[in-house]
């Protein structure tokens, strides 16, 4: 008998204008005697309703920092930790895309201990010696794709050592997630599309993951239907409020789905493509959707329902649909166009096996299997 177990404690608020509820959410969880770290990706968001009220708080409890980089590096996390560890932070409000949210939730796990150097930080993260989070956090997403506002893990990159770390503990779910599509409405079209396809990958991988369950599969299907059914509208009119609303809804649903299952082969194989060849994460992971789906076909439950969610009839049409969308957004759709040669595939295949992702795939991943997948999109 199969047990269906699902857990996600995050208070979720989604819709145009919901950002105005941020101050009341902060008041629900913030300790009056402690500081609040307002971590934002850009100073421009400080003018937004809800955030503006927080930033203008005259009690002295708000500490504002800007983190504007993508794919946060270990050294960058170390610098933010150094700047803020003595401030007695009781709540982190992270406003941005997945990178800012990942830094914010990472800090919650690090504030409870003294870390002496970046090497010490590397060891603590690698061996998962961080404490139960010392403070809570609230995630305000400004992109529609990562779902980071409703997951309990964070990705930190260590490019010097060609390593991607995951800081994760079930105690580090956000107190609340605020998903206001207005914040994503000014994203460049290419970024909006690649972010949306990243969310589709989250959902699809959640659907077929070894760790999937009845609830996560339902959330995943609705996420795919929502995004794939409305992404053409985004391509036609990048300013469409309805399209951005649908992308935000789909991304949040995908986040809720894979918050319980994690991802699988698409993400595992994509990491070296991003780290070594700088292919944007959403592009790299979505290029792999078609071939990984075809690999996993024998193990996917109710595959016809999944294909219907994508709006196609045949498995091979998933990859074709994705590449059509990427081309319309101006992205190259082969690895060769990104500067990757066939001679590099064995190294990429070796680095494409990552614990927690590759072993969560329903069909076994080997270097040979990954090499063959990469050849199909070369």
Assess if residue 285 is contained within a domain: yes
Whether 126 contacts 156, CB under 8 Å: no
174 & 233 share domain: no
Q: From the CA atom positions of the chain, what is the Rg in Å? A: 20
pTM flag (> 0.85): yes
Domain boundary among 152, 181, 210: 181
Assess if residue 370 is contained within a domain: yes
Whether 195 contacts 179, CB under 8 Å: no
Q: What is the pLDDT of residues 132-141, one digit of tens each?
A: 899 999 999 9
Rounded Cα–Cα distance for residues 340 and 256 (Å): 34
121 & 23 share domain: yes
Assess if residue 1 is contained within a domain: no
362 & 256 share domain: yes
Burial of 16 (0-12, 13-18, 19+ CB in 10 A): middle
Q: Residue 218: which of 3, 4, 1 has the closest Cα?
A: 4
Rounded Cα–Cα distance for residues 305 and 2 (Å): 20
Rounded Cα–Cα distance for residues 63 and 197 (Å): 34
DSSP-derived secondary structure letter, 73: B
194 & 341 share domain: yes
Assess if residue 85 is contained within a domain: yes
97 & 220 share domain: no
DSSP-derived secondary structure letter, 4: -
Residue range 149-173: mean pLDDT, rounded: 92
Domain boundary among 151, 181, 211: 181
Range of the domain at 159: 11-181
Assess if residue 149 is contained within a domain: yes
Other beta carbons within 10 angstroms of residue 109's beta carbon come to 23
204 & 168 share domain: no
213 & 346 share domain: yes
* Residue labelled with tokens 């914040």: 183
81 & 18 share domain: yes
Domain boundary among 145, 164, 181: 181
Q: What is the pLDDT of residues 28-56, one digit of tens each?
A: 999 989 999 999 999 999 999 999 999 88
Q: What is the CATH number of the domain that holds 275?
A: 1.20.1090.10
E-strand stretches of 30-102: 35-40, 62-66, 89-96
177 & 78 share domain: yes
Q: Residue 222: which of 321, 308, 294, 314 has the closest Cα?
A: 308
Assess if residue 350 is contained within a domain: yes
Percent of the chain scored above 90 by pLDDT?
A: 91
**Count of domains in the chain?**
2
Q: What is the pLDDT of residues 210-231, one digit of tens each?
A: 999 999 999 999 999 999 999 9
Q: What is the pLDDT of residues 103-134, one digit of tens each?
A: 999 999 999 888 999 999 999 999 999 878 99
The per-residue pLDDT of the chain, averaged, comes to 95
* pLDDT of amino acid 287: 98
Rounded Cα–Cα distance for residues 264 and 271 (Å): 12
Assess if residue 6 is contained within a domain: no
DSSP-derived secondary structure letter, 377: T
* pLDDT of amino acid 4: 83
Percent of the chain scored above 70 by pLDDT?
A: 99
Tokens found for residue 92: 């982190």
Whether 224 contacts 310, CB under 8 Å: yes
169 & 195 share domain: no
Assess if residue 27 is contained within a domain: yes
Taking the alpha carbons at both ends of the chain, their separation in whole angstroms is 42
171 & 318 share domain: no
Rounded Cα–Cα distance for residues 293 and 322 (Å): 12
Whether 46 contacts 52, CB under 8 Å: yes
Main-chain phi, psi angles of 144, to 5 degrees: -115, 95
* pLDDT of amino acid 162: 84
Rounded Cα–Cα distance for residues 316 and 131 (Å): 45
Sign of CA dihedral 40, 43, 45, 50: positive
Q: What is the pLDDT of residues 257-273, one digit of tens each?
A: 999 999 999 999 999 99
pLDDT band of residue 338 (cuts 50, 70, 90) is: very high
Q: What is the pLDDT of residues 59-114, one digit of tens each?
A: 889 999 999 998 899 999 999 999 999 999 999 999 999 999 999 999 999 998 88
277 & 158 share domain: no
Answer yes or no: is pLDDT of 369 > 70.
yes
pLDDT band of residue 1 (cuts 50, 70, 90) is: low
Residue range 248-255: mean pLDDT, rounded: 97
Q: What is the pLDDT of residues 339-353, one digit of tens each?
A: 999 999 999 999 999
Q: What is the CATH number of the domain that holds 135?
A: 3.40.50.1970
Q: Do the bridges between strand 89-96 and strand 35-40 make them parallel or antiparallel, or are there none, so unpaired?
A: parallel
């Amino acid at each position: 008998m199969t047990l269906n177990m699902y857990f996600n404690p995050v208070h979720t608020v989604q819709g145009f204008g919901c950002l105005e509820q941020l101050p009341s959410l902060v008041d629900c969880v913030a300790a009056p005697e402690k500081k609040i770290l307002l971590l934002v990706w850009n100073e421009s968001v400080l003018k937004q309703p809800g955030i503006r009220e927080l930033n203008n708080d005259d009690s002295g409890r708000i500490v504002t920092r800007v983190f504007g980089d993508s794919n946060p590096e270990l050294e960058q996390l170390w610098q933010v930790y150094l700047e803020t560890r003595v401030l007695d932070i009781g709540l982190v409000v992270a406003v941005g895309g997945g990178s800012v949210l990942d830094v914010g939730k990472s800090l919650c796990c690090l504030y409870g201990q003294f870390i002496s150097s970046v090497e010490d930080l590397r060891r603590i993260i690698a061996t998962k010696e961080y404490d139960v989070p010392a403070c809570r956090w609230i995630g305000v997403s400004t992109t529609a794709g990562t779902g980071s506002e409703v997951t309990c893990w964070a990705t930190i990159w260590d490019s010097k050592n060609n390593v991607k770390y995951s800081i994760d503990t079930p105690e580090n779910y956000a107190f609340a997630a605020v998903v206001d599509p207005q914040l994503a409405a000014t994203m460049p079209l290419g970024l909006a599309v690649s972010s949306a396809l990243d969310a589709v990958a989250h959902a699809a991988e959640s659907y077929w993951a070894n760790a999937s369950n009845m609830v996560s599969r339902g959330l995943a299907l609705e996420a795919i239907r929502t995004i794939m059914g409305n992404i053409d509208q985004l391509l036609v009119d990048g300013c469409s409020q309805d399209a951005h609303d649908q992308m935000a809804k789909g991304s949040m649903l995908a986040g809720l789905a894979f918050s319980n299952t994690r991802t699988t082969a698409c993400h595992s194989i994509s990491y070296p493509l991003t780290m070594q060849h700088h292919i944007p994460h959403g592009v790299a992971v979505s290029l792999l959707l078609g071939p990984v789906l075809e690999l996993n076909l024998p193990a996917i439950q109710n595959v016809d329902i999944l294909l219907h969610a994508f709006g196609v009839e045949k498995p091979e049409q998933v990859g074709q649909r994705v590449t059509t969308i990427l081309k319309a957004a101006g992205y190259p759709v082969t690895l060769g166009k990104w500067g990757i040669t066939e001679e590099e595939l064995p190294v990429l295949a070796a680095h494409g096996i990552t614990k927690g992702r590759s072993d969560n795939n329903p069909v076994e991943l080997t270097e040979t299997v990954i090499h063959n997948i990469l050849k199909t999109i070369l």
